[in-house]
Structure 1
């Protein structure tokens, strides 16, 4: 079974495989060497500090997070999805993603931790490059996970090349790229910077933690607050939300993808402007745009035997009728 997540403590390791179940295993030499190398490079004097980074190991690229606990320093590693530069390989219909990301403005890539939204951002960016639409691109990441080979892409890492995500976005606007990629919107300052970049004529990709498009919109509006939420409606061009289901029904042992997309056209803007209590009505906008929701995609996966009802409901956090 391919391992996707690891927690490497001083004396033991937790592995999380394709079934999504963490298992304790004995500390092996390869894990011991990995932990030693990571500590040598990233261990902090202040045990309250955590560190985010990326590394190559076990034939893959990993996202790393180092934190201190009762068990000492612990390395958490998450294997980044292979085939990350190809939307089809990830399970998307490329046109669904390109239709909400090829224009000017902000595209939000929405999902929970570990749902693959950063990987999808990369794949969407590479798809636009294949179509000669990406142009000069600047990324602001924390940390850099995927290394682009295109010389038209300049990658910047928070803490190494810029002071903060928001600073990096503001600096990128002055550097006149066609596309700006923001690793993650976590705070009001970055949310506001992303909106301003979208309004200034740039294509902006950014990820945000939420379970679906409706929740992603709500989170952005909360981060922006009443003073800046009015700009949100004009700055956004579209949304991609996704989730991964760990299932033994997958032929290659990898997770099954659930996703939904939506263009922010005038009708969607009108729905959002009416307030959070009206976001339930976005279901009608999916239907009008002839786009499926994750709920509907989940029902299809159940019918064709690629996932169970319990697995879909567990991933979506909601009952399927």
Structure 2
């Protein structure tokens, strides 16, 4: 139980520490409070300074038992060297899934280097270097280059959000490292186009050869505010045929859906409608959700309506 006035005292302290005596439009930071760690954004507004806080994880959740995801679908996407991307929109849980998957690899991941903004949770055990942008290193790209020089087997990138980071990630993967990162994208099929748009043209040409796995997810939240969020996902292991489709250009990317079928992987629509059979969501809810994403076809309409 927080003592009376604790929130105000915390806010006043953050305002003093992060303002630095000079009014700033926004400040992004992590801080401990009342036994928890929080990611905070202190920002100016028409009504004065406001703070937004998100509680960070205490420990790493388990892929199957805690997140409700299929470890057997994720594991092949992380084996060997190359680039694996966990994608989704904001607050989709992609970072949590990525962290959980890397933790579940255990010794198979080798020595690990992570660069995050902020550090979400601490990995336990030896052979781990974790760096926070703005605290330990100036940028994601700088940390990736350092990890390459340090011979980190696995490099985890909290977010691939700018050209410099994308270039560094692809280069590291091309040098034989296992690189795992998150990216904002609308579907698994959208990942190659989104990634290529950030890359230098020369590196965009080698992207198909370094890609290893694509994972996209969304967390469906029902409007009642009580139900547990439902994970919806799709994935693709990057085979030679997948590489060829990606190399052939954006107009060929819809063919990746056929590759999902041949790999017997769950599509976005199949993942979503599975919750109907488990009585966790209604047909109408998920029908509307899929229609807004253009991911429902005639063979699925009877099942979802």
Aligned to 1:77: 53
Q: Residues of 1 paired with 2:6 and 2:284: CA distance?
A: 36
> Given that residues 60 and 103 in structure 2 are in contact (C-alpha distance below 8 angstroms), is that contact kept between their aligned partners in structure 1?
no
> Given that residues 84 and 90 in structure 1 are in contact (C-alpha distance below 8 angstroms), is that contact kept between their aligned partners in structure 2?
no
Aligned to 1:52: 28
Moved more, 194-203 or 254-263: 254-263
Corresponding residue to 2:70 among 68, 77, 93 = 93
Q: Residues of 2 paired with 1:277 and 1:67: CA distance?
A: 42
Q: Residues of 1 paired with 2:82 and 2:104: CA distance?
A: 17
Mapping 1:260-279, distance limit 5 Å? 260-279=234-253
Mapping 1:123-142, distance limit 5 Å? 123-129=100-106, 132-142=107-117
Q: Residues of 2 paired with 1:150 and 1:264: CA distance?
A: 30
Aligned to 1:308: 282
Aligned to 1:111: 88
Mapping 1:211-226, distance limit 5 Å? 211-226=186-201
**CA spacing shift, 1:237–1:295, aligned 2, 3 Å:** same
> Given that residues 249 and 306 in structure 1 are in contact (C-alpha distance below 8 angstroms), is that contact kept between their aligned partners in structure 2?
no
> Given that residues 58 and 121 in structure 2 are in contact (C-alpha distance below 8 angstroms), is that contact kept between their aligned partners in structure 1?
no
> Given that residues 167 and 200 in structure 2 are in contact (C-alpha distance below 8 angstroms), is that contact kept between their aligned partners in structure 1?
no
SS state at 1:213 partner: coil
Runs of 4+ in structure 1 over 3 Å off: 28-31, 55-62, 79-85, 309-317
Aligned length: 290
Mapping 1:250-261, distance limit 5 Å? 253-261=227-235
After TM superposition, give the deviation of residue 123 of structure 1 in Å: 0.3
Q: Residues of 1 paired with 2:82 and 2:75: CA distance?
A: 13
Q: Residues of 1 paired with 2:94 and 2:7: CA distance?
A: 27
Mapping 1:166-315, distance limit 5 Å? 166-247=141-222, 253-312=227-286
Please report the TM-score for the alignment, with normalisation by the length of structure 2: 0.87
SS state at 2:161 partner: coil
1:65-101 deviation line (CA, Å, top 9, x unaligned): 2222212222222234676331111111111111101
Q: What's the C-alpha RMSD, in Å, of the aligned pairs?
A: 2.3
After TM superposition, give the deviation of residue 142 of structure 1 in Å: 1.2
Mapping 1:135-150, distance limit 5 Å? 135-150=110-125
Where structure 2 has 5 or more consecutive residues not aligned to the other structure, the ranges are none
